[in-house]
Amino acid sequence: MYNLKGKTAIITGSGKSGAIGEAIAYKLASEGCNIVISDIGITKEEQFSAEHIGTTKEMDTIVSEIKKLGVNAVGISCDVRMENQVSHLMEKAKEAFGSVDILVNNAGIGYIMEPFTEFKEESWDAVLDVNLKGAFLCSKHAALQMIEQGNGGCIINIASQAAKSGFPFAAAYTASKHGMIGLTRSNAVELGAYKIRVNAVCPNHITTGLGHWQNKFFSDKMGLDYDKYLQSIVDKNPLKRTGLVEDIAKAVAFLASDQADYITGEAMNVTGGEEYH
């Protein structure tokens, strides 16, 4: 449908089974892209436990499944906080497939939530470093590669409803996602001369493994039964359901395609009508 055959797509934070990044990878693969699965790969510090990161083993499994769709795929571990690792990611992607055409900045921390007056400096740094600095570094090095190639390209940032609205216990997350929209718009203006389009997708609540953790966290904070909290999310949504990882993947595929070749600098809500700013 989207004529992406033969393009190379890098998706950061895509090594976790059942999560948004994996769904994006499968969708782009189904449209003909060669896929680079990338995640941190190994546990680091207490903020990057196996519960939340994509391990090397999971990355290998996802790569194997993607290859069954008839495209090529590789897994490349990368800590997006480290510029040398990000540069290496782009170099290895080019080495594997000859080009970098699509970057999806999906790596993020959405599992560090603390009351604002108790928010620890190390928690703030961890969230901002992954969510915003990581998107900056990956965009920078993908853009350098795309400019060298001379054929344009596409960068898609996975932001959030929290890029448009505020949420309790999520000062760092909300700040990082608001910042990601600023990065999207600035880069769209500057990189447009090279035919590089830069857009963002803003999901609302997606009940993945991370979403389950968030449901538990917020239901406990609000003193609600888990199922009642989840129902409250459904009740306030005009389409009366929670978001699916496939909803986000479809939006990414559209923005990556030629059907969106005159769209840049946008922050697309994919929220079932819940967010309209």
Cα gap 255→24, rounded to integer Å:
12
CA proximity to 136, closest of 105, 178, 175: 105
Report how far residue 156's alpha carbon sits from residue 253's, in angstroms, rounded to the nearest whole number. Answer: 10
Q: Which of 111, 173, 194, 262 is catalytic?
A: 173
The candidate with the shortest Cα–Cα distance to 110, out of 190, 44, 184, 206, is 206
SS3 74: strand
Residues 162-195 as b or e (16 or more Cβ within 10 Å = b): bbbeeeebbbbbbbbbbbbbebbbebbeebeebe
What whole-number distance in Å separates Cα of residue 2 and Cα of residue 28?
9
Q: Are 103 and 8 in contact (CB under 8 A)?
A: no
Helix (H, G, I), strand (E, B) or coil at 236: coil
Closest CA to 51 of 83, 3, 99, 19: 19
Q: Which two tokens stand for residue 159?
A: 């932001």
2 catalytic? Reply is no
Torsion of CA 126, 128, 132, 135, to 10 degrees: -10
Catalytic residues: 173
